[in-house]
Amino acid sequence: MPQIDLLFTIAIAFILGNLLFIFNDAAFLANSTHALIILIFAISGFIIFYNSYIRNFYLTSAIILIGAFYCLFYDINFINHNEIKNKIYVIAHGKVLSLSKYQNNRNNSKGIKVTLQNIILEKSPYSANKNSTKKTLTKKTSSSKISQNKIIKKFINVKNYQAIDRQSQDRQKKYQNIEWQKIDNKIIYPDPPKKISFIIRDNYLSENIAINDIISFKAMIENDYKKEFPDDFDINIYNKSKKIGGFGIAIGNVKIIERNKINNIDSWFLQLRDKISQRIIKILPQNQSSIALALLVGDKSHIADKNMEHIRNAGLAHLLSISGFHMALAGAIFFTITRFLLSRNEYITLNYDIKKISAIFALIACYFYLKISGESIPAQRAFLVIFLTFFAFLLSKKINLIRLLAVIALTIAISNPYNVASIGFSLSFIAVFTIITICNNNKIENHLKSKWDTSIIYIKNILSTSIAIQIITIPFLLHAFGKFSILSPIANILAIPLTSFIIMPLGFLSLFLMPLQIDKYILLLMGQGIDIIIYIAQEISNIKYSYLSTAKLPGFALLISFFGIILISLKGKIFKIIGLIIFLLPMIKIINHQQYDIAFDNEQKFFAIYNKDNGLYFSKKLRESKQRTRWLEYFLENEFKYLTHCKNSCIIDIKGKKFYILTSRNKITKICQQKDYDIIVNLNPNYKLPECVQNKEKIDNIDFYQKGGHFIKIKNDKLIIDYTKWQ
């Protein structure tokens, strides 16, 4: 039986434990005592059956639970803060950690998005409604002009109509009760989050803000992110990986308390990164500078949505994510240049090992690149690979690549377990694992021994590696995005050489020349190469069927596919065949996917019904927006259609189940007299359902508040409901 590396097994089990807690934290906390008992039992079983094959089962179980408990430990000791659960109004003080542009196309507002650290939140009375209140009091209103519809919609006591739902309205206000602390004559929010992101509109900015500035402004902060769909990635997990504890909007002018305060090495790198970004933006036009920023400083926020869509559809998004490809290029370029320069000196060449000296300089250069690139997960992984590889080279040791990958995975998981839930982590590691274990590592050597032309060898290896990675990462892409590129190998054959030999070397050269202010023409040349990349992405993306959109792959199905990948990587034909079958098995879930029959928005604004024959129909006309587009994409539809017969209420018959849906305030008698339905749904958070429906199956305001959006399938005459909040 083939042996799986023990360290690799431990790394996988530990990460699975992290994910167990991350995606089921409430359930794990509720059953933590039972989990601890199972952990003790697993450790005992491993000790007792140490000389038996069954020990591997006990070891894996113990490591999984250790991973889950470690995530809990990390939560308590490194992320723990006084959570901002609802809406608060404060004067926010903090140091600028990151900056990006902000634009809201809906109301044409522009500004910046900043993340602050070292935060102090001072209590501020909210006074934004004073002017509007004054206007209301002074405005002359004739009671004769108030329509009957307005009375029904707005007034509290309307005879025979649904009563106001006071509790629901209080929940909508989302004000938070806080035990404020008085420090130095200031009333302070106790133990605030380590970082908070804010949107600051241009009208609140009297002067430019830079990285490391300490600023202050009035703000409204809340943490009310709601997933749009049940299988959306939870942004709260991402925030925990970045230690961001809230989101706010500036409601007052920004004051700069102190300019560019640099008090540690991280502050210095942040300021340097910002200066590099500003230099690139100044020299290159928007289309070129946005890609250059992604390649050199890891900032993708400036890329136009259309360009990003083309790049993703063409399967070239990995080129913009600073990872092994970019880090290896940086290491190789600096190693080669340093070795060349050192070899020019005869004394150094004869008395010192210039290869090892070059490796040290290359490692320093890679660390520099890591810091100015924003230290994303793929970049961290790539740097660790290069660090350990160069370290082994300096010690003249051979390195086991699978163990190297396991060490890196454990290092990242221990430093911040929430990192393992990111799609960047998954794609980065599965791609490296594919190259190490599945792609034939001897292929290049065999080709070099033959008489094939070098360019053909290069193309064949890019093609074979790209196809292998593309196939292996399909389940991960379907799980995260519900989309994958078919023509990605072709796009990569065209784009990778251009990026490897022209764009990135020019980019690194420009970084060196920036302090001398002679980088302009190098950046302009780099920009020409970027234009070609954009052109390739657009042309590939516009080819019919160049990419496929499907339903998202569930998490359990992804786990099955990953187990299949492990088997494929083992030696032995039988394991590869079984692994391939297991890998493909979850795809049946995609083929046999049953779309939701009816779905209710988490904010109770609308619902949508779907069937194969007629497609998707919304309950009302919605203006064009990102939300509308996302719903159409989720149901794999292109055309927007809506119902015209559900003004105040309607009964929708779906597969024999009748939904009585209230979309506005209705007469109580009308609701109570209606008996011909299976479930009643209240889509107006301002009004209560009358007492006559208390014994009926219902979805009411409290259900939307506690569970979010409701997505319903009807199968075997039963309602299967998925929610947008974790249960």
Mapping DSSP onto H, E and C, the string for 524-544 reads HHHHHHHHHHHHHHHHHHHCC
Q: Across residues 160-180, what is the average pLDDT?
A: 77
Q: Across residues 280-308, what is the average pLDDT?
A: 90
Query: Rounded to two decimals, what is the model's pTM?
Result: 0.78
What integer pLDDT is reported at residue 133 of this predicted model?
36
The band of 135, judged by pLDDT with boundaries at 50, 70 and 90, is very low
Q: Across residues 355-361, what is the average pLDDT?
A: 87
Residues 6+ apart with CB under 8 A from 691: none
Q: Judge whether residue 134 has pLDDT over 50.
A: no
Q: Across residues 411-425, what is the average pLDDT?
A: 88
The band of 640, judged by pLDDT with boundaries at 50, 70 and 90, is very high
What integer pLDDT is reported at residue 441 of this predicted model?
46
Distance of CA 142 to CAs 139, 145, 557, Å? 10, 6, 63
What integer pLDDT is reported at residue 131 of this predicted model?
40
Q: What are the pLDDT digits (tens) for 390-406?
A: 777 777 777 788 888 88
Q: Across residues 104-116, what is the average pLDDT?
A: 80
Q: Across residues 419-428, what is the average pLDDT?
A: 83
Place of tokens 């970004």: 277
* Interatomic CA distance for residues 361 and 353, integer angstroms: 13
Q: Judge whether residue 8 has pLDDT over 90.
A: no
What integer pLDDT is reported at residue 1 of this predicted model?
42
Q: Across residues 344-373, what is the average pLDDT?
A: 86
- Beta bridge partners, 89, equal 220
The band of 37, judged by pLDDT with boundaries at 50, 70 and 90, is very high
Cα torsion angle, 88, 93, 96, 100, sign:
positive
Q: Are 113 and 244 in contact (CB under 8 A)?
A: no
Cα torsion angle, 336, 338, 341, 345, sign:
negative
What integer pLDDT is reported at residue 141 of this predicted model?
43
What integer pLDDT is reported at residue 272 of this predicted model?
87
Q: Are 64 and 10 in contact (CB under 8 A)?
A: no
Among 146-155, 392-401, 623-632, the range with the most confident prediction by mean pLDDT is 623-632
What integer pLDDT is reported at residue 618 of this predicted model?
96
What integer pLDDT is reported at residue 402 of this predicted model?
85
Both tokens of 282, joined, read 């100044």
Least confident residue range of 173-187, 457-471, 628-642, 695-709:
457-471
The band of 140, judged by pLDDT with boundaries at 50, 70 and 90, is very low
Scanning 482-569, the segments in alpha helix (DSSP H) are 488-498, 504-513, 520-542, 555-569
Q: What are the pLDDT digits (tens) for 47-95?
A: 988 877 788 889 989 999 999 999 999 988 888 777 787 788 899 999 9
Q: Across residues 661-689, what is the average pLDDT?
A: 91
What integer pLDDT is reported at residue 43 of this predicted model?
93
Residue among 95, 167, 169, 87 at smallest CA distance from 128: 87
Q: What are the pLDDT digits (tens) for 186-215?
A: 899 998 988 999 999 998 988 888 888 999
What integer pLDDT is reported at residue 143 of this predicted model?
47
* Interatomic CA distance for residues 629 and 631, integer angstroms: 5
Least confident residue range of 129-138, 253-262, 309-318, 415-424:
129-138
Query: What is the average pLDDT value for the chain, to the nearest integer?
Result: 83
- Percentage of the residues of the chain whose pLDDT score is greater than 90: 28
Least confident residue range of 435-439, 544-548, 677-681, 697-701:
435-439
Q: Judge whether residue 505 has pLDDT over 70.
A: yes
Q: Judge whether residue 447 has pLDDT over 50.
A: no
* Interatomic CA distance for residues 268 and 402, integer angstroms: 35
